[in-house]
């Protein structure tokens, strides 16, 4: 199967806490079910993912999750030092990685040293090593799950409006300098995200209801509207982001 933002399934939870709980259960079940290779996740920054990571680190989930079989990548990163408060790896480490038994070699942080374009190439190389090939093969997805958020300006990962990375069709990782947000970024490209079994959009709050509606209608101006997957796309929304009772 393949899907996109328009035909993706919608799962609505009461609030952002319920979204995070639901996705923690989803990831745990899918990771336990995959026994024929590593379970590869692209992690996201953002507020709902942070809560998700805290839940995965709680004793109920952490004890069941097959940490030794997981490979953790990042969907995007601000090009700032790892101790900067806006660094996604830092947040993920504090919320999750420092509390669970994941082998350090299975955690692939986006580099934020040297030249951004070179760092993007280095990260792509790391993805290719774990994937075991230099070209993506249809039917053999790079990621089991890609976690994505959605910004009010329609960005997802660090695919920001009116930036060159939106036109990238070959590279798996690119750089982005947003016009409307701080920091140069590294980001997975549309092509890399599409090589996935599941793409999950985690979106919560009334301030996101309008952009969720636009993206789900396929509004081409929103970068998130161009996300596709060879697997299944699922909108994990709270009631407010879904436009109910908001």
* Residues making contact with ligand 6PG (CB under 6 A): 44-48, 75-76, 88, 149-151, 155-157
Q: How far is the CB of 52 from ligand 6PG (least distance, A)?
A: 11
Q: Identify the sign of the CA torsion 55, 209, 234, 136.
A: negative
Nearest approach in angstroms of CB 9 to ligand 6PG is 20
Nearer to ligand 6PG, 87 or 195 (CB): 87
Angle at 237 between CA 235 and CA 243, to 5 degrees: 115
Nearer to ligand 6PG, 4 or 34 (CB): 4
Output the residue with the shortest Cβ distance to ligand 6PG: 149
Instruction: Find, among 105, 93, 101, the residue nearest to 62 by Cα.
Output: 101
Question: Other CB atoms closer than 10 Å to residue 110's CB: what's the count?
Answer: 26
Q: How far is the CB of 44 from ligand 6PG (least distance, A)?
A: 5
Choose between 149 and 231: whose C-beta lies nearer to ligand 6PG: 149
Q: Least distance to ligand 6PG from the beta carbon of 138, Å? A: 26
Contacts of 71 (CB under 8 A, 6+ apart): 38, 39, 40, 41, 106, 108, 130
Closest CB to ligand 6PG among residues 76, 168: 76
Please choose, from the candidates 214, 155, 215, 224, the residue with its C-alpha nearest in 3D space to the C-alpha of residue 183: 155
Q: Strand 76-78: give its sheet, edge to edge.
A: 76-78, 185-188, 173-176
**Minimal distance, residue 193 CB to ligand 6PG, in Å:** 12
* CA dist list (Å): 61 to 16, 29, 57, 99: 18, 10, 7, 12
Q: How far is the CB of 151 from ligand 6PG (least distance, A)?
A: 4
Of the pair 45, 141, the CB lying nearest ligand 6PG is at 45
Distance of CA 164 to the CA centre of its chain: 20
Residue number with CB closer to ligand 6PG (40 or 157): 157
């Amino acid at each position: 199967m393949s899907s996109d933002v328009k035909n993706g399934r919608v799962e609505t939870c009461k609030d952002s806490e319920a979204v995070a709980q639901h996705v923690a259960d989803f990831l745990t079940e899918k990771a336990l079910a995959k026994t024929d290779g590593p379970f590869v996740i692209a992690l996201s920054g953002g507020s709902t993912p942070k809560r998700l990571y805290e839940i995965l680190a709680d004793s109920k989930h952490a004890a069941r999750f097959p940490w030794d079989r997981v490979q953790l990548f990042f969907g995007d990163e601000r090009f700032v030092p790892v101790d900067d408060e806006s660094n996604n790896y830092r947040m993920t480490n504090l919320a999750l990685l420092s509390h669970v038994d994941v082998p350090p070699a299975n955690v692939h942080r986006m580099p934020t040293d040297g030249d951004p374009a070179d760092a993007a190439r280095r990260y792509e190389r790391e993805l290719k090593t774990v994937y075991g090939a230099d070209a993506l093969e249809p039917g053999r997805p790079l990621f089991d799950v890609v976690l994505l958020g959605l910004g009010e300006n329609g960005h997802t990962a660090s695919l920001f409006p009116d930036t060159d990375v939106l036109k990238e069709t070959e590279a798996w990782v690119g750089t982005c300098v947003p016009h409307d947000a701080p920091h140069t970024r590294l980001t997975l490209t549309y092509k890399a995200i599409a090589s996935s079994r599941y793409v999950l959009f985690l979106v919560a709050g009334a301030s996101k209801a309008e952009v969720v509606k636009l993206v789900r209608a396929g509004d081409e101006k929103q970068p998130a509207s161009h996300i596709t997957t060879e697997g299944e796309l699922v909108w994990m929304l709270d009631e407010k982001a879904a436009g109910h009772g908001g």
